[in-house]
């Protein structure tokens, strides 16, 4: 098993658990994997293509650190390769970091499904923000339903909140089903 500290909701750090898919390295600097990365083991390639390396994160969901759908959990710092140059990226400094802290990170999400692996963090965070804005819009509907004045307004606001919940449920379900489909076909990026 591979364990790594990642940012969770409200900036709380938690330890994510995954199956190890890369050779164990001695240095403590996290270097993001790239396509055809020589550190990925043969078994690791299969685990990554089928996303089975993520399976232990069900524990993180069970204990409440993660959810099934949400932004990808991020370590505090990663070393990324830009061209031929490696540089450290501190996740707190990437625009959009604060908004990502408003929701639990997810096992799957818009970024995991639609963003290419090599895209810089700031672009991945833009995908995350699409999801986060939907969640916040839905939360606002609930706040409105609680603070509505008058019986008629309150019922109308509660209906909107319920419809928002239903839409969010089906949106999340769509993302989960897309993830399952990609997994069954073994089409996740290694």
- pLDDT tens digit at each of 190 positions of the chain: 889 999 999 999 999 999 988 888 755 666 777 777 888 888 888 888 888 899 999 999 999 999 999 998 988 988 877 778 888 889 899 888 899 899 999 999 999 999 887 788 888 889 999 999 998 888 877 777 777 666 667 777 777 878 878 899 999 999 999 999 999 888 887 6
Closest by alpha carbon to 93, among 61, 125, 59, 136? 125
Which structure tokens are listed for 188?
């996740």
Residue length of the chain: 190
Please check whether residue 67 is in contact with residue 61, taking contact to mean a CB–CB distance below 8 angstroms. yes
Return the SS3 of 80: strand
Instruction: In whole angstroms, give the CA distance from residue 59 to residue 154.
Output: 38
pTM: 0.81
Residue 149 dihedral angles phi and psi, to the nearest 5°:
-95, 140
């Amino acid at each position: 098993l591979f364990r790594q500290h990642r940012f969770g909701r409200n900036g709380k750090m938690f330890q994510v658990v995954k199956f190890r898919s890369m050779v164990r390295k001695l240095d403590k600097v996290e270097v993001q994997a790239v396509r055809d990365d020589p550190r990925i083991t043969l078994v690791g390639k299969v685990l990554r293509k089928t996303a089975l390396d993520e399976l232990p994160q069900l524990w993180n969901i069970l204990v409440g650190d993660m959810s099934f759908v949400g932004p990808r959990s991020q370590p505090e710092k990663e070393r990324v390769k830009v061209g031929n140059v490696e540089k450290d990226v501190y996740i707190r400094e990437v625009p959009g970091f604060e908004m990502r802290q408003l929701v639990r990170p997810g096992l799957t999400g818009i970024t995991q499904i639609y963003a290419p692996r090599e895209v810089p963090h700031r672009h991945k965070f833009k995908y995350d923000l699409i999801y986060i804005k939907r969640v916040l819009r839905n939360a606002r509907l609930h706040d409105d339903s609680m603070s509505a004045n008058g019986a008629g307004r309150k019922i109308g606001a509660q209906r909107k909140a319920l419809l928002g919940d239903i839409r969010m449920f089906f949106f999340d379900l769509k993302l989960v089903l897309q993830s399952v489909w990609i997994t069954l076909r073994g089409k996740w990026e290694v």
